[in-house]
Chains A and B, each alone.
Chain A
Amino acid sequence: MSEEDSGENLKEETSYEGENEQKMEELGCSESSEGKEQETVPVTRKRPEPKPPSQPAATEKPAAETVKVSDPPAVQTGWGYWGSWGKSLLSTASATVATVGQGISNVIEKAETTLGIPSPSEISSESKDSTGGSENPAASNADAADDGSSFPIAGALEVLSTISTAVQSTGKSVISGGLDALEFIGKKTMDVIAEGDPGFKKTKGLMNRTSTLSQVLREAKEKEEQQTATEVTMATEKKAHYGLLFDEFQGLSHLEALEMLSRESESKVKVVLNALSGEELDTLKEEMEQLKEAFSLPEFFEEEEEEKKGDEEFTKEVTELFSELHISSKPDKVISVRTSAHEWVAQFNSSLPEEEKESEENQEVGSRDGDQDAKKSVEDIHAFAIRSLAELTACSIEMFHKTAALFLYGQKQEVTATDRAKSLSQLTIMLCKELSAFSKEFTTCLTTAGVKEKADVLNPLITGVFLEASNSASYIQDAFQLLLPVLQISLIEARTELSQ
């Protein structure tokens, strides 16, 4: 301890006071000006474009014959795909917020035309048709929810309940096949119906303007905390608050720490660039450009898309990629979180046949017990899904934080900054794919367990999982971008050593 600082730092830590108030103002203004944000999506954030969907495996029983579906939603662009995550989602989210004032039907119309989903009137007439068929239990179930008064938000929102009711009433196979579409509707309406994560739903739009993600997230978390503490909320909401859980797993703190390292590095880089001139400056700039390129996340090829990774495969790949970084830490935490979540899903799936039989029996007897069991487990699945997403994201951000600290202060290694960036970008892609796979698995569990649930119970849970998975992927990609200035420092250091 007695040793004094080596004086390696070109600049002392910057202080961040004053920034808070400014942020608060920005947050306060967000609601009125959200719509403008679409244009301000950062250009450096190159994210993959949407990809054509594939057919989800039809694991469910076929729908009842009486149900007609004009456009199978499964054909539409799926969003569970990584492709539509990130940037495109950003504009979608802010667009939704912007339209709220103008009436929700526009939003829905937009969602429908994009997706090719039947219009509310088509749907409602169809759902009336379908409820005629008595052999479809889901339809009669949904019929009960069709009554507008049962839906908590009156007026324009009735139309929403009609849509979800219709989707539900078309039967099991449509739900599982059309998850993508369902989820897309959910995403559009998520910002309108207050549900799930009250504080978090607007972070998408805010991220464009605010320089630090952690600030926005902390603010959102605090709002959420306050809201949940003062309101009497629904049972599901009690269990699964992404923001609170993300903080509980120390995701916010690690993100803040990573941001700090990133900012410090950024200002050091500026000092160096200012001190250089002529050829020296040009070569460095060129190298930095190359490094920056490694930070654009590449698109993946289609074949990769549906490959389902086994546990060992994920572990092996992450470990290998991480070892390419040549640092002293290991990605153990991420791997164990991922593994235990998959074990939970596997256990759930293996326990299925029995449960299904049980609920059928209950149905015959007309007992309420079955319903209650199902209801409880749907909420449990949702809670576990949100928790796992929050934990995996927090651990991923912790991993990036530690990586940054070791890049800056660890032992020098024979590996270039650009090579490290490439491995990290691969790692980021793997994690985001994993989140996407997670969300699909969890929602499949939800649809399986919630066959008999009403649409307005099941759908918010499903959309909640998809929304948080997509948020998670964005946070991880943002965290990855924070490593750029850190690796720029590595690059500069390597050059300095070379010239000496």
Chain B
Amino acid sequence: LLPHLPQYVLSFRLIVLGDSTVGKSCLLHRFTEGRFPGPLHSDPTVGVDFFSRLVEIEPGKRVKLQLWDTAGQERFRSITRSYYRNSVGGLLVFDITNRRSFEHVKDWLEEAKMHVQPFQIVFMLVGHKCDLVSQREVTREEAEKLSSDCGMKYIETSAKDATNVEESFTILTRDIYELVKNGEISIQDGWEGVKSGFVPNVVHSSEEAVKPRRQCIC
């Protein structure tokens, strides 16, 4: 009906975490713009960057993703920390060719848990740069073991050749959508993790109930 307007039923805020240089920004550029920036455009992220995209979870049903790309560098930690709280989901990224980045996964999880309370983040573990097979330092098996120990799904991706990029975000989004549908995660005032979207001509009771109240408090 109004093709220019992004229509979506819900919007989720997702945070992307992980060590510096594991390829978080490249992953997001690939996912949102369909391109790989390449090594020439790889200035480290300053503080936090923002992306967004729509994802179709069921035919005709779309979710808007607001994606927070955090700086991996330690010096920006106090900035990135303030973004945990309003996220409903997270991609925890490590570089399969960099063992240290894998070892830090648990630290990232702990850090997130500490700052997200009283809310929860649905995490997914992402082993990035899987195109660099010959330089692999982390086996799929050990990554899978870690992820299941921590109650996350595991996926291996490559922004360079676009392997599983689409899948990683879609799977996480579907999982969160299910949790919202089952009532395990709910829309709350003062929390930006999940918000309802806008659909034309469907005047949902939830929206209508809030709207008039807002306008006539005077």
When the two chains form their complex, are residues B46 and A29 in contact, meaning their CB atoms are under 8 A apart?
no
Quote the shortest CB–CB distance from A52 to chain B (angstroms). 41
B187-213: contact bitstring with A at CB < 8 Å (1 yes, 0 no)? 001100000001111010001000100
Q: Does A228 contact B (CB under 8 A)?
A: yes
Quote the shortest CB–CB distance from B118 to chain A (angstroms). 11
CB within 8 Å of B: which A218-236 residues = 225-226, 228-230
When the two chains form their complex, are residues B47 and A409 in contact, meaning their CB atoms are under 8 A apart?
yes
A237-273: contact bitstring with B at CB < 8 Å (1 yes, 0 no)? 0110000100010100110010011000000000000
What A residues does B200 contact at CB under 8 A? 229-230
Distance A329 CA – B43 CA, assembled complex (angstroms): 9
When the two chains form their complex, are residues B203 and A257 in contact, meaning their CB atoms are under 8 A apart?
no
Distance A234 CA – B81 CA, assembled complex (angstroms): 44
Q: Does A44 contact B (CB under 8 A)?
A: no
What A residues does B5 contact at CB under 8 A? 225, 228-229, 238, 244
CB within 8 Å of A: which B62-101 residues = 66, 74-79, 81-82, 85
Show 19 A/B contacts (Cβ-Cβ < 8 Å), sorted by A: A5-B77, A18-B190, A24-B217, A27-B214, A28-B217, A28-B218, A29-B218, A226-B207, A229-B2, A230-B201, A244-B5, A250-B51, A253-B66, A257-B47, A257-B48, A261-B79, A328-B46, A329-B43, A405-B76
When the two chains form their complex, are residues A248 and B52 in contact, meaning their CB atoms are under 8 A apart?
yes
Given the known inter-chain contacts A253-B50, A406-B46, please indicate yes or no for A13 contacting B81, CB distance below 8 A: yes
When the two chains form their complex, are residues A17 and B190 in contact, meaning their CB atoms are under 8 A apart?
yes
Q: Does A286 contact B (CB under 8 A)?
A: no
Given the known inter-chain contacts A248-B52, A260-B82, A402-B47, please indicate yes or no for A29 contacting B217, CB distance below 8 A: yes
When the two chains form their complex, are residues A401 and B47 in contact, meaning their CB atoms are under 8 A apart?
yes
B1-40: contact bitstring with A at CB < 8 Å (1 yes, 0 no)? 0101101000000000001000000000000000000000
When the two chains form their complex, are residues A1 and B52 in contact, meaning their CB atoms are under 8 A apart?
no
When the two chains form their complex, are residues B82 and A13 in contact, meaning their CB atoms are under 8 A apart?
yes
Q: Does B133 contact A (CB under 8 A)?
A: no
Given the known inter-chain contacts A257-B47, A402-B47, A405-B47, please indicate yes or no for A225 contacting B215, CB distance below 8 A: no
With A238-B2, A401-B47, A402-B47 already in contact, 8 other A-B pairs whose C-beta atoms are closer than 8 Å: A1-B74, A1-B108, A24-B214, A28-B214, A31-B218, A226-B207, A228-B5, A248-B52
Distance A93 CA – B51 CA, assembled complex (angstroms): 33
What A residues does B211 contact at CB under 8 A? 226
Q: Does A32 contact B (CB under 8 A)?
A: yes
What A residues does B140 contact at CB under 8 A? none
What B residues does A350 contact at CB under 8 A? none
Q: Does A20 contact B (CB under 8 A)?
A: yes
For the complex of A and B, the 10 pairs showing the least CB-CB separation, nearest first, are A405-B47, A1-B104, A253-B50, A28-B217, A17-B190, A1-B107, A250-B50, A29-B218, A229-B198, A13-B82
What B residues does A27 contact at CB under 8 A? 214
Q: Which residue of chain A has its CB nearest to the CB of B207?
A: A226
Distance A25 CA – B216 CA, assembled complex (angstroms): 9
Distance A27 CA – B210 CA, assembled complex (angstroms): 14
Quote the shortest CB–CB distance from A138 to chain B (angstroms). 31
What A residues does B74 contact at CB under 8 A? 1, 3
Quote the shortest CB–CB distance from A245 to chain B (angstroms). 10
What A residues does B167 contact at CB under 8 A? none
Total contacting residues, chain A, CB less than 8 A: 44
What A residues does B218 contact at CB under 8 A? 28-29, 31-33
What A residues does B214 contact at CB under 8 A? 24, 27-28
Quote the shortest CB–CB distance from A319 to chain B (angstroms). 16
Select one of B46, B75, B85, B108 contacting A402, CB under 8 A: B46
Q: Which residue of chain B has its CB nearest to the CB of A408?
A: B79
CB within 8 Å of A: which B156-211 residues = 189-190, 198-201, 203, 207, 211
Distance A5 CA – B74 CA, assembled complex (angstroms): 9
A interface, CB within 8 angstroms of B: 1-3, 5, 8-9, 13, 15-18, 20-21, 24-25, 27-29, 31-33, 225-226, 228-230, 238-239, 244, 248, 250, 253-254, 257, 260-261, 328-329, 401-402, 405-406, 409-410
Quote the shortest CB–CB distance from A228 to chain B (angstroms). 6
Q: Which residue of chain B has its CB nearest to the CB of A30?
A: B218
Q: Which residue of chain B has its CB nearest to the CB of A406?
A: B46
What A residues does B47 contact at CB under 8 A? 257, 261, 401-402, 405, 409
What A residues does B111 contact at CB under 8 A? 1
When the two chains form their complex, are residues A238 and B4 in contact, meaning their CB atoms are under 8 A apart?
yes
Select one of A13, A250, A253, A409 contacting B76, CB under 8 A: A409
Q: Which residue of chain A has its CB nearest to the CB of B78?
A: A9
Quote the shortest CB–CB distance from B190 to chain A (angstroms). 4
Given the known inter-chain contacts A1-B108, A2-B107, A20-B190, please indicate yes or no for A230 contacting B203, CB distance below 8 A: yes
When the two chains form their complex, are residues B50 and A254 in contact, meaning their CB atoms are under 8 A apart?
yes
Given the known inter-chain contacts A18-B190, A20-B189, A29-B217, please indicate yes or no for A229 contacting B78, CB distance below 8 A: no
What B residues does A328 contact at CB under 8 A? 43, 46
Select one of B7, B19, B76 contacting A1, CB under 8 A: B19
Distance A27 CA – B165 CA, assembled complex (angstroms): 41
Q: Which residue of chain B has its CB nearest to the CB of A32?
A: B218
Distance A328 CA – B74 CA, assembled complex (angstroms): 16
What A residues does B82 contact at CB under 8 A? 13, 260
Q: Which residue of chain B has its CB nearest to the CB of A31?
A: B218
Quote the shortest CB–CB distance from A2 to chain B (angstroms). 5
What B residues does A239 contact at CB under 8 A? 4
Select one of B7, B43, B50, B107 contacting A229, CB under 8 A: B7
When the two chains form their complex, are residues B46 and A405 in contact, meaning their CB atoms are under 8 A apart?
yes
What A residues does B79 contact at CB under 8 A? 257, 261, 405, 409
Distance A490 CA – B52 CA, assembled complex (angstroms): 33
Q: Which residue of chain A has its CB nearest to the CB of B44?
A: A328
Distance A17 CA – B46 CA, assembled complex (angstroms): 26
Distance A69 CA – B14 CA, assembled complex (angstroms): 59
Distance A402 CA – B46 CA, assembled complex (angstroms): 6
B5, B47, B52, B85 — most chain A CB neighbours (10 Å): B47
Distance A226 CA – B207 CA, assembled complex (angstroms): 10
Select one of A13, A28, A228, A250 contacting B215, CB under 8 A: A28
What B residues does A248 contact at CB under 8 A? 52
What A residues does B48 contact at CB under 8 A? 257
Distance A32 CA – B216 CA, assembled complex (angstroms): 10
